[in-house]
Each structure stands twice: as structure tokens, then as C-alpha cells.
Structure 1
């Protein structure tokens, strides 16, 4: 009986948790559920309002976030940003970003993929009250984009997956820098000085080769608290912690946090941040400068920026195409780069503070990301049918990371 239950339930669940596509699929499901609850149920307004209701204020009295959405976005997402910092550090030391020659193509492609969407958004909003949202369409969601690409299986080369992963990692770094520099408000010098001191202590611990993760996370907690009161978004503490933790301890900590982050925190983030009510008419989005800037920034700006930057870099000889890939495949990867979701929605919460404006921006992100996913998948699928090539598949994140290590060796 137990063996039968293990085969029927536990084994498929474990397979689901270990599948690289699962995080993206779960995010899609949570997004759909949240939109249905907000728009198609009698309790929709109560559901939307609960996430932002002051449910902790009497307990924390301003020293910590006071709503469920605040705890998710400010506290729990710091662990996601720890993964971002850790992944960037790993690739800078061991992977595709370890040498200038190896990293130049995804770096330049990521820069183009950030610049073009920001410019398109600015074209629509430069003379409006919403010009501050130019950072929203700049980001690529790693889980979603690689999840969609992995659905193509053997139809795309693993080198294209590595290129997209490296590009998305650099993209995340750009998003982190953008948040730190341009989306801080009401800066408080005392807390900033305290945060700077903690960052110095983290660097000192790293330099002295302190290996116990608990010391780093204790300092990271103090850093988070000081940043929370400084005006700089506190999730930057997660990035700093990811950079500070010794490389020899990253695997251990990432293994421990992987499932809670990707299968609890990110789904909760999706539920909380897509709890938005559809406008009475779709024209409200299509006629909105925010909506057009975000959707076209993701759907048009991303592939154009990624492709043209890559094309120019390879043509002038400063970088080379990944092996077994073509310019047409890079264009398809650029289309999938328009899947913004996590970082784009996160930036929306920092750029705008009015619920109606946030709703338009978030729905525009969903539409732009959905179009990018569908058109990118269909384009690469059709391209594979034309070439009729089948290349060994490496769909999972661990396998892609192993390919990084092999390329370095």
C-alpha cells in the first residue's frame, strides 16, 4: 500500500519539484488563480483588499512591514534576491561571466535588452506623470523564459539555453542596480551609514574566510532592517548577502532554500501582486501610455534590443555566436526575453504607489509577457521544423549549470 502510494503520489510530486519548468508552471497557475479570484468571484474585492490591509501594524508599529503584501515583497522576496546575487557571483567566478570574451555577448545583449524597452516606454511617457516607470519593462524573468524554452526540448540547442540564462542573470543585475539607484525614496543618512558598515563587515568576514552561514545571515538581517528604514529597498540586502557568502557555502545554502523560494515565496509573490481587477474595458490599457509603453517595451523592445546588440557585437568581431546557434535562434531567444513578470511586477510596486496605476501596469506586464511567450515559442518551434535538426536536450537548471562548469574547465 505504502509502495503504491509512493509511486502514485510522492514520486510524481518529487519529479515535479525537481523539474526546472515547475517553478514557471506554478507561477502561471498562481497568476491565473489570483486573477480569477479577483475578478470572477463574489469575494473579489475582499480578496484584493486583504493583501494590502494593515494586519500587522499593531504588532510591529512601523518597524516592519504591516501588510501581507509588504511582508512578501519586502521580507520574503529578499531570499529570492539572495538567489539572484548568488547566481551572479557564481557565474562571475566560474561560469559564462568568468572571462571577458565568454561573457561579452550575453552582457551586450542584456544591455540592449534593457535599453530598448526603457526607450520605448519613455517615448510614450516622457511628458506624463508616469515617466518614472521606465524600469518596468527592462527585466527578463529567468524561471518563465527558461521554462518556455525548455518546452521546446531537443528542438533548440543547449547553447541557446545557456545564452538566455546568462542574459537573464545579467538582466537581473541591471534590475537590481536600477532599483537601488532610481527607486529609492526619502533617504535617511544614519541608516545608510549603518547599512554601509554592515556591508563592510560582510566583506571582512568573506576576506577572513569565515564560513559559517549563520554569521552572514545574522549580519544580513541587520542589513535588511537598516535598509528598510533607509529608503533603499531592503531586498538589496539579499543581493549583498549572496555576494558575500563564500562560494564553498553557496551550494549548501541554495540547496536548503531552493524549494521554499521557488515553490512557496515566488508563488505567494504571484498571488499577492496579480490580485488586480480588470478595467471595465480593455481600451483602458490600450489607450494608456503606461500600458502601451510596458507592453511594447517587453514585446517589441526586448527582442529588438537583444538581437541588434548581439548582431552588431558579432559582426564587428568583439563577440561570437554560441556554437550550434544562428541569428534566427537568437531572435527567438530575444522574444522570450520579453517575459518580464517577477522583476517587472516588483519594479511596478516601487515605481507607482496608486492601486489603479499599478493595476494597469501589472496587467500590461502580463499581456506583454504572454505575447512574448507565445510568439517566442511558436517562432522557435517553426524554425526547428524548418531546419529539422534535433539536438540533445538539457532542460534543467542544474544540467545547464554543469554545462557552464564544463565550458570553463
Structure 2
């Protein structure tokens, strides 16, 4: 989600062939193929805003509101196309988030107790303070129920901004933001489950628990074939969807379950492949020296058998979590997130809407809650946890960087728009909430970029002295 060292090197090499080298370095993190990137999401959001404010607005909305029915025997479920995007595709994005954050907690910059507590404390502050600020504007009003809109951040956009400083800030900055984003989004999903779910269906929850338990058993048995894991994952998704809880939480739960270690260490790999490599060489040499085509084909078959063994042994050195993220990331970046933006961003700009938002407690509560509440809550809670000795920032992370992390956390998009649609039955309130989320995101993005730019400049100036 930030550029990896290999991707950073690729960007630097490409820059030598272009007169726009500096621009390429800045833009690349928003479109990096190997990482979840915010560029396609940003473009899709702009396209959606243009389309919904064009003469073809009604046709564009009908495209996403068209019902789509799935049935099997007597069981049937019907959702609009937009709802299918939210319910069936967005869990893949949160699967990546859950997987990435587990890796950071298990073996990354947050693997010690105190560094792990650091983003957890920040997430608590990043929930409590924004909600309190929102309620300060909306308590005892018809919009009080919308407090959940400020509960969660947008992970893709915030990580894309941090990725712009990937070579100038410590890697732990990304790790802290990633962990904060995952915990913050889980809080948001729990808010949906508790405050915006009208009814829970226990039998579907039991189905989800059964699918999840089956995945645990398969992992304990060290089962390799992926088809059973996919089937169990589908059972978990169906169970959560049918229960009334938003199915994106299924993605996070499964991501936290995936193994972050390989089945075969590099040392064991070397021990196991030496003999098959020798057999491969012998088979290839025998095929070249064969007296007829039949004998050569037999030896080529032996070589292919050795290659198959080597392929499986090489695959065993790969982490299941890392492999899944690598497979899903391009699909999520270039299909799932853009489809979400196209189907959910529906702000009809008008004088009435903008003028009303300037004097609306709803809009003011959202903007203040996200743009001020997130950085204040994150910075204040992490500072307090550090002062009482329960947490410490990872090595190299300064308090200015912490403020920058909290600032970009004010970018609310995916879950904020989810919750706005759930919280308000009135389309006008939903649209005003979406406009406020957009405004808060712009302010937070610019403020976060400025803080992180200054932090990166300070870190660079301090390097010669170190």
C-alpha cells in the first residue's frame, strides 16, 4: 500500500527516461500495480461526480439501481447493482486490510506489545473524539443518529498519500497507519452491526461461525489445496450477509486468520530440492543423448516430474497471506474500488445543497468530526498511552508523523458513505452527508500531505547529523 523497495527502484529507473521525472515519482504511488492504490478510485470518483451532475444523471443512477436477483431453489436474494458492489466486492478490499495488519502485528513494525498498543490507542481516540464532536453539533436533533459517519476512515486514499513519501519516511509510518486503518475500519463495521442493523438472524451467524471454524481446522491440518478455503470463505460471507451484519466484516475476519509464515523455510527448501535438481539435470542430459524420440520423450517426462516437484516446493516457501494479497491487489485497485466509487458517489451539486451545508449541523458535525476529530483523537490518545507507559511509537516515528497519520485518517469515504446511506432514510440528508464527507476528505488530505511533507523534510535535514 506504500511502494515496496522493489517498486521504488522501478519508479526511479523509469524516471530517467522521462522529462517529467519528479511528477512520475509523485503520481506512481496512486497507480502502483503491486499495491492497493488510490489513483483509480480518485478517477472513478471524479467520473461519478461528473456523470451524476450531467444531463444523463438519471440514466447513470438507474444503471446502479437496477435490481439483480440471485436464487437457488426456494432461497433468493435481491439487491441493486450498487448494493452487490458493496456487499460482494468490497469484502475483498477488507480481506487485504485484515491480512496486511496481521502481518504487521505478527512480524512487522508493530510486533512488540508497546508498538502494537500504539495504533490501538490511537484508533480508540480516533473513534471517541470524532463522535463526540459530531454529537456536539447534532445531539437531540433528527440527525443525531448519523454519528457513525465519522467513525471510520478511507484506507485506500490515506495510504496512497503516505506512499508519496515512501522513500523519505520510515517504513513504520505506513505500518502504524495500516494498523490504525484496519482497527478504525473494524470499529466502523462494528458500528454498522450494532447501530445500523435493524435485525440479526442468529442462524446465519451460526453458519458464518461454522465456515470460519472449518477454515481454522483446515489451517490446523495444514491443508494446502485452496478450493476448500474458498468454499469456507463463501460460507462465511453468505452467513454474515444473511445475518444482517455488513459483509465487509467477513473480509477483515478472514484476513486476520490467514497464515503469515510459509509452510517451508528457505533452509528446508534447499535441503529438499537438491536431489530433484540433480535428477532434472540427469533427465535433461539423457533426453539430449537419447537414441530415438520415444526414449527422449520418456526422459522429458521425468524432467517434467522433477520440475513439478520443484514448483510445489517453491510455492511452499511463499506466505499464504502474501500470495493472496498479491493476487487480489490489482483486482481491488482497478476494479473493486472504482466500481464502489462509481456506484456510491451521488452528490448533485447545487446552490441549495452547498448553501444548506454551510449552516447545517449535520455537515458541520461531519467536517469537524473527520478533519479535526481524527487527528486530535489519534494524536491525543497515542500521546496519553505513551505517557502512562503502555505504548511507544515504532522506531523513527516522530510526533509530527503521528499528527500526519491522524490527519490523513480524516479522509472518510468508503465506510463513511456506507453509514450515511444506512443512517438516513431521507435522500437529501444522505446527499448532504456525502458532500460533507467529500469536503472533510479534501481538507484532511491537504492537511495530512502538508504535515507529512514537513516531517519528511525535517527527517531528511537531520540525516547528515545522524
TM-score > 0.5, shorter chain as reference: yes
Structure 2 unmatched runs, 5+: 1-16, 19-23, 261-318
Say if 2:139 is the partner of 1:126: yes
2:378 alignment partner, one of 303, 306, 310 = 306
Q: Deviations over 1:187-216 (max 9, x none)?
A: 223323323332332332233332322212
Deviation of the 1:275 alpha carbon: 2.5
Q: Is the 8 A contact 1:175 1:343 kept in 2?
A: yes
* Structure-2 change in CA distance of 1:237 and 1:311 (3 Å): closer
Deviation of the 1:264 alpha carbon: 0.5
Deviation of the 1:15 alpha carbon: 9.4
Q: Helix, strand or coil for the counterpart of 1:64?
A: strand
Q: Deviations over 1:65-118 (max 9, x none)?
A: 432101101111121122122223323322244332221212111211111111
Counting only pairs closer than 5 Å after superposition, residues 107-146 of structure 1 correspond to structure 2 as: 107-146=120-159
Deviation of the 1:251 alpha carbon: 1.9
Say if 2:105 is the partner of 1:34: no
Match of 2:331 in 1: 260
* Structure-2 change in CA distance of 1:166 and 1:59 (3 Å): closer
Counting only pairs closer than 5 Å after superposition, residues 382-401 of structure 1 correspond to structure 2 as: 382=454, 389=461
Counting only pairs closer than 5 Å after superposition, residues 10-21 of structure 1 correspond to structure 2 as: 18=32
Q: Helix, strand or coil for the counterpart of 2:394?
A: coil
* Structure-2 change in CA distance of 1:361 and 1:332 (3 Å): same
* Structure-2 change in CA distance of 1:164 and 1:194 (3 Å): closer
Say if 2:405 is the partner of 1:333: yes
Deviation of the 1:366 alpha carbon: 1.0
Q: Is the 8 A contact 1:307 1:330 kept in 2?
A: yes
Structure 1 unmatched runs, 5+: 1-6, 393-409
Say if 2:243 is the partner of 1:234: no
Q: Which runs of 4+ in 1 moved over 6 A?
A: 12-16, 58-62
* Structure-2 change in CA distance of 1:318 and 1:37 (3 Å): same
Deviation of the 1:322 alpha carbon: 3.4
Q: Helix, strand or coil for the counterpart of 1:23?
A: coil
Counting only pairs closer than 5 Å after superposition, residues 1-400 of structure 1 correspond to structure 2 as: 18=32, 23-39=37-53, 41-54=54-67, 56-57=68-69, 63-152=76-165, 154-247=167-260, 248-281=319-352, 282-382=354-454, 389=461
* Structure-2 change in CA distance of 1:210 and 1:243 (3 Å): farther
| Cα distance in 2, alignment partners of residues 65 and 390 from structure 1 | 58
| Cα distance in 1, alignment partners of residues 112 and 51 from structure 2 | 48
Q: Is the 8 A contact 1:92 1:98 kept in 2?
A: yes
Q: Is the 8 A contact 2:211 2:236 kept in 1?
A: yes
* Structure-2 change in CA distance of 1:75 and 1:210 (3 Å): same
TM-score normalised to structure 1 length: 0.83
| Cα distance in 1, alignment partners of residues 395 and 240 from structure 2 | 43
Give the aligned length.
Answer: 381
Q: Is the 8 A contact 1:140 1:168 kept in 2?
A: yes
| Cα distance in 1, alignment partners of residues 248 and 36 from structure 2 | 24
Who wins on radius of gyration, i.e. which is larger? 2
Root-mean-square deviation (CA), in Å? 3.0
| Cα distance in 2, alignment partners of residues 16 and 316 from structure 1 | 38
Q: Deviations over 1:272-293 (max 9, x none)?
A: 1112312433122222222111
Q: Is the 8 A contact 1:122 1:134 kept in 2?
A: yes
| Cα distance in 1, alignment partners of residues 132 and 89 from structure 2 | 31
